[in-house]
Amino acid sequence: MEIRTTLCLSPKPKPPVDSLGFGKYFTDHMFTLEYNTLVGWHDASIVPYGPLSLDPASMVLHYGQGVFEGLKCYKAADGRILLFRPEKNFERLNLSHERVCIPKIDVNFCVEALTRLIQIDKDWIPGDPDASLYIRPFTFAAESALGVHPSSSYKFMIILSPVGSYYPEGINPVRIYVEDEYVRAVRGGLGFTKAIANYASSLKGQEKAKEKGYTQVLWLDGVERKYIEEVGTMNVFFVIGSKTSGPDELVTPEINGSILRGITRESVIELARSWGVIVKERRISIQELYDVHKQGLLKEAFGSGTAAVISPIKEFNWDGRSITLGGDIGPMARRLYDTLTGIQYGRLPDTFGWVKEVGGL
Ligand code: COI
């Protein structure tokens, strides 16, 4: 499919790197693609970044038929522009599409469109060691109608945002509130997708945690409210020592239909296994976490996601009971963070073939 390009005539000034934060600034261009039932996906264009004109009856505004993705683009020290496993994001976009009845998009075409957009806005990729260009692909129902049914038209877009670190406090360990009132998702629902509704459902719990002085929420399963699912917008990992002087294990909740199939999660598992670490994808209850901590066997806890990469956890509050870890990032989290970011920024050899070069500066 041809991509029509209209360049922006008045580029914006670039914000200073130390003011970037997360998702506050947007580049000069955006990618748009239309769908209708007659022609399928069509009309691919790169246009100057700007507001959309939406009919007030656009179905996404009423019934939430929309999904998104998140990935990052990195500038290597030698000027190469690198993406991390971009096909995985567009494969997962299609998984999300499928769940909320949006027609699939060609993965290779999405990567090509993204590559073109990045090449046009490449001056926006920050050169700072911890900064990157966050990529937000998203799709929404565009038909103007109030009947509850899958939309007959959609818009797929990609916008780009230069970002610093996700948490203002950087890679410092965070405090987590274990949420046992609100739930993020249930099996059979949307939890395994990046449907926008999941994030709406997480806001109340996040706000409650913040009011209580915590950075993020630990989500439990939606039925028994016992089993650990995710932390904030991330997958979660624990390093648990052995009762019988065997090796430590890296434990993460198994993919069960309500947990997001994180690309960083998958990369963490592959990396750790390649180092000989025993990785267990299994159910883990909050009671078990509390018990292993009491026995002195909980050595590390951390979240994994695109935005924060690895986010060490220093404390969980479970209904007033505290599970406290050391205040520093643990050796497993540190090694994973250094290796993942090393590969992403082209500082380390890409032995897994995860990095895709999409141009140079
Ligand atoms: C991620 O870290 O993968 C995310 O999806 C975070 C985003 C919702 C800001």
Query: What pLDDT is stored for residue 156 in this prediction?
Result: 98
Spatial neighbors of 338 by CB under 8 A, at least 6 apart, are none
Query: What pLDDT is stored for residue 168 in this prediction?
Result: 63
Decide whether any atom of ligand 1 lies within 6 Å of the 198 Cβ. Answer: no
List, in sequence order, the alpha helices (H) in the chain: 59-63, 86-99, 107-120, 196-211, 263-274, 286-294, 331-344
Q: From the CA of 309, how far away is ligand 1's center (Å)?
A: 9
In single-letter form, the type of residue at position 301 comes to A
Q: From the CA of 338, how far away is ligand 1's center (Å)?
A: 19
Nearest-CA residue for atom 9 of ligand 1: 307
What is Dmax (Cα atoms) for the chain? 67
Domains in the chain (CATH in brackets) are: 3-163 (3.30.470.10), 174-344 (3.20.10.10)
Q: Is the pTM of this model over 0.75?
A: yes
Own/partner contacts of 348-356, CB < 8 Å, gap of 24 or more, are 352/267, 352/270, 352/271, 352/274, 354/84, 354/85, 354/267, 355/82, 355/83, 355/84, 356/82, 356/83, 356/84, 356/85, 356/86, 356/111
Query: What pLDDT is stored for residue 130 in this prediction?
Result: 85
* Helix or strand (DSSP H, E) at 137: strand 132-141
Decide whether any atom of ligand 1 lies within 6 Å of the 70 Cβ. Answer: yes
| Cα 256 to chain centroid, rounded | 18
Q: What is the number of the ligand 1 atom nearest to the C-alpha of 166?
A: 9
Q: From the CA of 353, how far away is ligand 1's center (Å)?
A: 23
Q: From the CA of 244, how far away is ligand 1's center (Å)?
A: 37
Decide whether any atom of ligand 1 lies within 6 Å of the 307 Cβ. Answer: yes
Nearest-CA residue for atom 8 of ligand 1: 233
**Which residue, among 14, 47, 46, has the nearest Cα to 124 in the 3D structure?**
14
Decide whether any atom of ligand 1 lies within 6 Å of the 193 Cβ. Answer: no
**In 10 A of CB 206, how many CB atoms?**
20
For the chain, 361 residues long, give each residue's pLDDT as a single digit of tens: 999 999 999 999 999 999 999 999 999 999 999 999 999 999 999 999 999 999 999 999 999 999 999 999 999 999 999 999 999 999 999 999 999 999 999 999 999 999 999 999 999 999 888 899 999 999 999 999 999 999 999 999 999 999 997 766 667 899 999 998 999 999 999 999 999 999 999 999 999 999 999 999 999 999 999 999 999 999 999 999 998 889 999 999 999 999 999 999 999 999 999 999 999 999 999 999 999 999 999 999 999 999 999 999 999 999 999 999 987 899 999 999 999 999 999 999 999 999 999 987 7
Spatial neighbors of 218 by CB under 8 A, at least 6 apart, are 176, 177, 178, 179, 228, 230, 231, 236, 286, 316
Quick check: 120 and 5 in contact, CB under 8 A? yes
- How far apart are the two ends of the chain, measured CA to CA in Å? 26
Decide whether any atom of ligand 1 lies within 6 Å of the 306 Cβ. Answer: yes
CA-CA distances (angstroms) from residue 5 to 14, 45, 55, 116, 361?
A: 22, 6, 25, 10, 20
Q: Which residues pair with 250 in a beta bridge?
A: 239, 279
DSSP codes of every residue in 232-249: TTBEEEEEE--TTS---E
**Which residue, among 142, 163, 149, has the nearest Cα to 56 in the 3D structure?**
142
Q: How many Å apart are CA 84 and CA 141, to the nearest integer? A: 28
